[in-house]
Every structure is written in C-alpha cells, then in structure tokens.
C-alpha cells in the first residue's frame, strides 16, 4: 500500500487483490439494500468523476458532499478524488433538518471554501434555495456568510443523468498533494477544513492496521475480513476508518447512524453476522449498547468473532468500559479485544492505540503538576491508557510556554509524524497557531507513563457530544437570542462528567444571566431553552442554571470565562436563582 503515490492507485490495487470484497449498505431498519464489489465501487466513482468534469469541476475545486451513508456518497466523494477535486463531507440534509444554526454553518462552510458545487439530498437543496444568504439577512452566530448566490446544488440523481465528459482521465497526484478536506471544529468556533494529503491518508491506513493487528501477532491480511460501522461518513472516524479498510480489502458493512441510535442491537447483529470483525465507535456508542440492549436481547448474540472494538473520538469512561465488558462478555466478547485509542482530524485520524493486547488500563490523574486544572474541568479521577504513538509518530507533553514536560506531568499533547496535516484550507493564521515547528498542537490535555498516553481533558472550549464536535458559542448564541435580553444577558455553555452519569460521557450545562427573579418566568425560560436546544441541535441539556445579570466572569475584552464558570459550577459556587 505504501508504494502507491495516491489514493486512486492504492484503491485500485486493493480492488484487484481482493476481488470478492466489497461494500454493503443497510437502511434505517437494518436491512441490506445493496452490495457492490470494490471494483464496482471504483468504476461507479470514475463515471461520477466524468460527469463532474462535464459539469465543469476541475482539479482543486471544492465539492461539498452533504449526503447520508449510501452508494451515492461513495460515487461523489471518490469521484471527486479521482478528478483531483477536493471533496468535503458535511452532515446530510436529514441531520441538518430544520435547524437554522446548522444551515447557517453549512452556508458559512460553503463561503469559506468558495465551493464550486454542492451535492445534497433534495430536501437540503430546497432549504438552501430558500435560505437568505446576504450578510444583512443572515442570523448566524458569527459564521462567514455569502454575499453572492450559492454555487450549483445538485442531487446525485441529477448528476447521474448527465452525459460524462469524453476523454476523462484520472488525475495524477503525488503523496504531498491534498486529497480531500475534513471539517473539524476550531478552538474559537467556526469549522476549519483540514487538508489531508494522499500520503497522509495512506500512511494512516498503515498505522491503523498495524495498531489493531499487532496484539494478535499474525499477518494482518489474515487478521480481519469484516467491518461493521454506523459512524457517519462526514465524521473523521467514519470516513478515515472506512477508507483504511477499503485499502486493506476488508468487506465493509455500513448502516446509517439513525438505525444504530434507534436500535443499537442492529449494529451488534451486523458484527455477529460476519467473519473476523473490527468495529469502532465513540464511548457513547458502547454506553448506548449497555443502556438500550436488555438482558433478554443478549440471547443468541455471538460476539466471539469481534476481534477489535476500537474506541476513540471522545473521552473513554472507565464506567462504560467495565459495564460493556461485563454485559457483552456473556456473548463471547473478550476484554482484550477492547482497544482504546486517540486521534483527531489534524492527524488524518489515529495518533495512538493501546496495542498491548491486554485488558484496558487506567491510572489516577496526577495532581499538582503541569496545568493547574489537570482534569480539564471534567472532574475525572481515573483516566484510560490510549496506548503509545502509532507507526512513525512521536508524542510529547508540553507546558503552557511550549517546553517539554517529564512523564507523569499533565500538559498539552503534541504530535508529529507523516499523518499530520499540512494546514487548514484558506486559514494561514489558524495553521500557524496549530502547527509549531513541525508539531501539531492538539489542544488536548494528558500525560505520558512509560511512553504511553493518558488523556485527562481539553484546553480548547470544545464540546464532544455523542462523538460529534459542538462549539459552546453556538449554544450560547441560541440561549441569548431565546432570552430576549438584547445581548446584555450573557450565557456560558460547557460540559462536565461527574457523578453516576459520568459513564454517559459529556453532559451539557447552560448558564444564563437574567434580569428578573420571577419564579414563573424563570421556569418558562428554562423550559424554552431546553426546547430550543433540542430543536436546533437534537440535544438534551443536563442542567440549566439561571443567574443574576452581571454575575458571569468575563475577560477584559468581554469574553465569558467558561473555564472559571465550569469550576464554580462543579464546586457549587454559582448563585443559582430559584
């Protein structure tokens, strides 16, 4: 795989070497709707590339792919890769729904990337057509806006009806060339587009394969032959993991995330139906299996072939792991096959994997060393080992001034290696802040022990809910607009994990200033806030705290100090109004 300079050539070789392997797509009820061999997947992608070329798409053009998990998604995304265009996957219309904030974010992405084409569902195309895009009419919370008409927005069926361009040839790309853009939430809010190179993507596939196969001490080609996933394709875990397994010629079985959320047993049934299986999910996915699959549903579920259960994308909770291993050990799942790891879009994906092949391990969070708030505000006492750095990758822990810290001290995690991105598209300032002397500043907190990484929290004001990134300012903007305070009543949103609910991952706390003390009005406002957040983001607030106007601490420039407010919340020092 490493001998190939670009993804099209590596994928073509994998299709030749594994002619029986392919892609199966499942619907929301867990039923298979179709299967294609990888050779058929690539041939369909080439046809899509020729049609995109007929539409005027050229090498380097940005193509926004806002589609659900489907063959259409692979046609357009891989078609753009073959054409030399830069695909960028976003949440599909079904996820965006009626949310004005998410729609504003999508329009902001289109503006930031100067996209040439949007490929979406019919429902999303209609919403975009109806959405005002001028700065004067935009109601988005600080996102870039379009002052020109939206680029062409087409459905996959409309593209399929086009005549392909004659004489189309696959673009010739080199390892250092950008292959695609992956959206990720920046430290201050608006999504940034990570530039992932062909070489970085191929190297990451090698690193991930080596990390999951190492404990089994066998030829990786005979290690796994089945992959089952519900993680959305616009998520870096979903996209890169699927790309990795395609490059290895492993059979892919993909279901929409809605199917898993509605009935998580469908995912485990998919796992059990194949051969030697690997699957990945954020912590909340494993917790959902624990919570939503009753003991009676364990009957007949054989998970003995599940070779690797990879967990990353959010903090891994000891309570979740112990509950999952206890419950599904009765179905044949082996504790040593649970594999914690760590990755982020700026590293293409994987940075570290626990490849020791033993039972997952924890250590207490060090106190009084490194950063003042060693737990990153989460209140965790024990944290998981996510393993050592993957192939050709280095890790170091640094103090606030950038100096390296010794093992056992908490600091910012930094990484370097072939998988590290080349920068954010059209954002040199953010790139300079994140890439320092060849090292990626991850914004995550952790410490090293015997060369292995333990994550403790985050420096950046980022919420990771159900494995998806959410910026606190989005919730704060919504709360401030809902309260009707005209911007004078400020809000702070943050996440915590403490108490018995810690196993369920991060929980959102919303604190809002108000100018009155009427209990009936306070109760109504609290209810309105919960409804608004549920409608716009599909999320549940764990707590709404209303405080007297002017109480929230702010910086000299007027920014709300979320970290200070979170600490006061955890210690019970916020003066909550009745």
Q: Give the pLDDT score at 141.
A: 56
Residues 389, 345 contacting (CB under 8 angstroms): no
Can you tell me which residue has the tokens 């910012």?
A: 412
Residues 149, 217 contacting (CB under 8 angstroms): no
CA distance 393 to 374: 24
Tokens of 132: 């005002």
**Range with the poorest average pLDDT among 57-61, 87-91, 310-314, 435-439:** 310-314
Residue 92 C-beta-side C-alpha neighbours within 13 Å:
18
Does position 140 have pLDDT exceeding 70, yes or no? no
At residue 465, what are phi and psi to the nearest 5 degrees?
-115, 120
Instruction: Place 219 in a pLDDT band, splitting at 50, 70 and 90.
Output: very low
CATH of 471-571, one of 3.40.50.720, 1.10.3720.10, 3.100.10.20, 3.30.300.30: 3.30.300.30
**Range with the poorest average pLDDT among 21-30, 100-109, 212-221, 312-321:** 212-221
Q: Looking at residues 386-414, what average pLDDT do you find?
A: 94
- Residue 439 CB neighbours (<10 A): 18
Tell me, letter by letter, the H, E, C secondary structure of 473-496. HHHHHHHHHHHCCCCCCCEEEEEE
313 or 53, which is more confident? Answer: 53
Burial 185-203 (b: 16+ CB within 10 A, else e): bbbebbbbbbbbbbbbbbb
CA distance 190 to 425: 13
Which residues have C-beta within 8 Å of that of residue 13, sequence separation ≥ 6? Answer: 1, 4
- Residue 559 CB neighbours (<10 A): 12
The closest alpha carbon to 191, from 505, 492, 474, 479, belongs to: 474
Beta bridge partners, 493, equal 510
Beta bridge partners, 22, equal 37
Which residues have C-beta within 8 Å of that of residue 528, sequence separation ≥ 6? Answer: 482
Tokens of 20: 């029986």
Average pLDDT over the chain, rounded to an integer: 86
Instruction: Place 70 in a pLDDT band, splitting at 50, 70 and 90.
Output: very high
556 or 390, which is more confident? Answer: 390
Can you tell me which residue has the tokens 């990795």?
A: 244
| Sign (positive or negative) of CA dihedral 347, 240, 89, 259 | negative
pTM for the whole structure: 0.84
At residue 549, what are phi and psi to the nearest 5 degrees?
-55, 135
Does position 532 have pLDDT exceeding 80, yes or no? yes
Instruction: Place 2 in a pLDDT band, splitting at 50, 70 and 90.
Output: low
| Sign (positive or negative) of CA dihedral 502, 508, 512, 516 | negative
CA distance 123 to 93: 6
- 3-class secondary-structure state, position 498: coil
Q: What is the DSSP string of 115-130?
A: -SEEEE-HHHHHHHHH
CA distance 187 to 441: 11
CA distance 111 to 115: 7
Does position 500 have pLDDT exceeding 50, yes or no? no
CA distance 156 to 119: 7
pLDDT digits (tens, 9 = 90+) for 14-59: 999 999 999 999 999 999 999 999 999 999 999 999 999 999 999 9
Tokens of 267: 């995912």
Q: Classify burial at 323, counting beta carbons within 10 Å of its beta carbon; exposed 0-12, middle 13-18, buried 19 or more.
A: middle
Its CATH class, for the domain covering 1-6+41-162+169-173, is alpha beta
Q: Give the pLDDT score at 142.
A: 60
Residues 345, 425 contacting (CB under 8 angstroms): no
Q: Give the pLDDT score at 422.
A: 96
Ranges in the chain annotated CATH 3.40.50.980: 1-6+41-162+169-173
Q: Give the pLDDT score at 5.
A: 94
Does position 574 have pLDDT exceeding 60, yes or no? yes
**Range with the poorest average pLDDT among 24-28, 237-241, 357-361, 460-464:** 460-464
Q: Give the pLDDT score at 458.
A: 78
Strands 491-496 and 507-514: antiparallel
If you ran DSSP here, which 8-state letter would residue 518 be given? Answer: -
Ranges in the chain annotated CATH 3.30.300.30: 471-571
CA 475 to chain centre: 19
R_g of the chain, CA atoms, integer Å = 23
């Amino acid at each position: 795989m490493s001998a190939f300079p670009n993804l099209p050539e590596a994928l073509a070789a994998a299709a030749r070497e594994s002619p029986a392997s392919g892609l199966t797509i499942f619907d929301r009820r867990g039923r298979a709707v179709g299967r294609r061999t990888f050779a058929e997947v690539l041939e369909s992608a080439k046809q899509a590339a020729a049609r995109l070329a007929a539409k005027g798409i050229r090498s380097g053009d940005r193509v926004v792919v806002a589609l659900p998990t489907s063959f259409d998604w692979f046609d357009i995304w891989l078609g753009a890769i073959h054409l030399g265009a830069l695909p960028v996957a976003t949440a599909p219309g079904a996820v965006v729904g009626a949310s004005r904030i998410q729609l504003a974010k999508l329009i902001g992405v289109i503006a930031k990337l100067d996209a040439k084409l949007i490929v979406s569902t019919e429902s999303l195309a209609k919403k975009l057509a109806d959405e005002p895009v001028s700065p004067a009419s935009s109601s988005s919370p600080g996102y870039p806006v379009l002052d020109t008409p939206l680029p062409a927005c087409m459905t996959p069926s409309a593209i399929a009806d086009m005549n392909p361009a004659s004489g189309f040839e696959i673009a010739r790309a080199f390892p250092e060339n950008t292959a695609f853009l992956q959206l990720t939430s920046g430290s201050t809010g608006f999504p940034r587009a990570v530039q992932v190179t062909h070489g970085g993507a191929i190297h990451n596939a090698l690193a991930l394969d080596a990390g999951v196969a190492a404990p089994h001490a066998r030829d990786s080609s005979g290690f796994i032959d089945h992959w089952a996933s519900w993680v959305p394709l616009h998520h870096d875990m979903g996209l890169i993991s699927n790309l990795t397994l395609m490059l290895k010629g492993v059979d892919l079985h993909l279901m929409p995330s809605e199917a898993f959320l509605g009935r998580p047993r469908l995912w485990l049934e998919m796992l059990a139906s194949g051969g030697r299986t690997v699957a990945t999910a954020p912590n909340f996915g494993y917790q959902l299996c624990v919570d939503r699959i009753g003991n009676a549903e364990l009957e007949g579920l054989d998970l003995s072939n599940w070779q690797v259960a990879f967990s990353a994308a959010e903090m891994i909770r000891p309570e979740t792991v112990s509950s999952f291993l206890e419950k599904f050990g009765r179905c044949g799942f082996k504790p040593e096959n649970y594999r914690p790891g760590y990755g982020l879009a700026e590293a293409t994906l994987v940075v570290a994997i626990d490849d020791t092949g033993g039972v997952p391990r924890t250590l207490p969070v060090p106190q009084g060393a490194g950063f003042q708030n060693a737990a990153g505000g989460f209140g965790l006492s024990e944290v998981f080992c996510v393993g050592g750095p993957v192939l050709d990758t280095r890790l170091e822990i640094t103090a606030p001034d950038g100096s390296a810290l010794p093992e056992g001290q908490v600091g910012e995690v930094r990484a370097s290696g072939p998988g590290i991105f080349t920068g954010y598209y059209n954002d040199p300032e953010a790139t300079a802040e994140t890439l320092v002397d060849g090292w990626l500043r991850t914004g995550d907190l952790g410490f090293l022990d015997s060369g292995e990484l333990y994550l403790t929290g985050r420096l950046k004001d980022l919420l990771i809910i159900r494995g998806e990134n959410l910026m606190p300012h989005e919730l704060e903007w919504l709360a401030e607009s809902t309260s009707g305070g005209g911007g004078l009543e400020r809000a702070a949103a943050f996440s915590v994990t403490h108490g018995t609910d810690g196993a369920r991952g991060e929980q959102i706390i919303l604190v809002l200033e108000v100018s009155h003390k009427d209990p009936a009005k306070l109760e109504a406002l609290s209810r309105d806030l919960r409804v608004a957040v549920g409608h716009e983001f599909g999320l549940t607030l764990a707590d709404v705290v209303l405080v007297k106007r002017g109480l929230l601490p702010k910086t000299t420039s007027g920014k709300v100090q979320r970290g200070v407010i979170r600490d006061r919340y955890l210690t019970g020092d916020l003066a909550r109004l009745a």
